[in-house]
Each structure stands twice: as structure tokens, then as C-alpha cells.
Amino acid sequence: MKLLPNNPRQKSKQRFSRYLSEDSEVCQQKIFSLGVRIAMPCFILFTNVPASAIPKGFLSETTKVIAKAIRKPEAFITVRIHPGQMMTHGGTTDPCASSEMQAIGHISAAENAEMSRQISEFLKSKLQIDNRRNYIKFTDLPPHEVGYQGTTFGELVKDPKWAALM
């Protein structure tokens, strides 16, 4: 495969190919055509907003926002909210947060900027967290570092039958 400079799709193919055997070209093509739809986005939010101020339905609403932002099915999204943290931002205890988006793929400069905008708008509307009071860390995880169904995504995607279900 010839790589063009700064081509994110080809860089993603190169990254995924590290985890597959050389004799699995057909499987690799399925994985690459699936892109990064496979996997497990996990959004983690630490906030000083007390649990009593978290609106009813916030977890399910957050799941929908994250699924839309990262363009992956809700069925694979995990959301963890840690309210009532002892934390400050900029020296004050006004509502603030520290969050992380972990996923296999869909993590790039352009995608991160758009996800940051969507997540920040959501947190502002639901928790009154100003977008200047929340840092979001984006973490692109290699498939072999994510366990699922008693194995890892790095192993699961080697099975064309399993990959075809994604």
C-alpha cells in the first residue's frame, strides 16, 4: 500500500494492519471498509456539579450526543459520569469538568474539534458548564488494547464473520 503524506484514512489502515496477520488481506479490506465503526467509545466526565443537579435522563441523553458526535451506534457507547468531584478550574469552584473520549478510531484533529464543540454545547445546556471550564482529552486506542467478549477487538476483527456483523 502506497501512503500519501497526511492521509488520515491510509494512516488508519497502516495502524490497523499492525494487528493483523499478513495472510488476512480479505479481512483487512473488510475492516478498512468498515472504517472505525467497530468499537467502543467511552466518554468519561468528571465534574464538580453535584449528583443532585444532574438532570433526570442525563446518561441516556449523553449517550445519544456521544453516538452522534463520534458517528458510532449507541449500542457500543459507554458513558461514565462522576459528579460531585472536589475540583476547581481557573481557581474557582464554579461548574467545571474534565472529560475524556476514548475510542478505536474517529479520533483526529478535525473530528476532535467538531466533537469538542458538540460536547461543550451539550454540557453547557444541561449542566451549565461553560466551554472554557472543561478540558476534553481524546484518546485513540489500538484495537489490541481494548477487551470485549473475553478477547480483544484486535482478535475479533480477524474473524470475517464477526467483522461482517459490525
φ and ψ at 55, to 5 degrees?
-65, 150
Cell numbers linked to 128: 451549565
83 tagged catalytic:
no
DSSP run (H or E) holding 164:
helix 160-164
* Cβ atoms 101, 139 nearer than 8 A: yes
d(CA 145, CA 153): 8
Helix boundaries (H) for 71-148: 109-127
Residues 6+ apart with CB under 8 A from 94: 130, 133
Closest to 53 measured CA to CA, from 85, 76, 26? 85
d(CA 61, CA 55): 10
* Catalytic hit among 8, 41, 50, 160: 41
Q: What residues are annotated to the active site?
A: 41
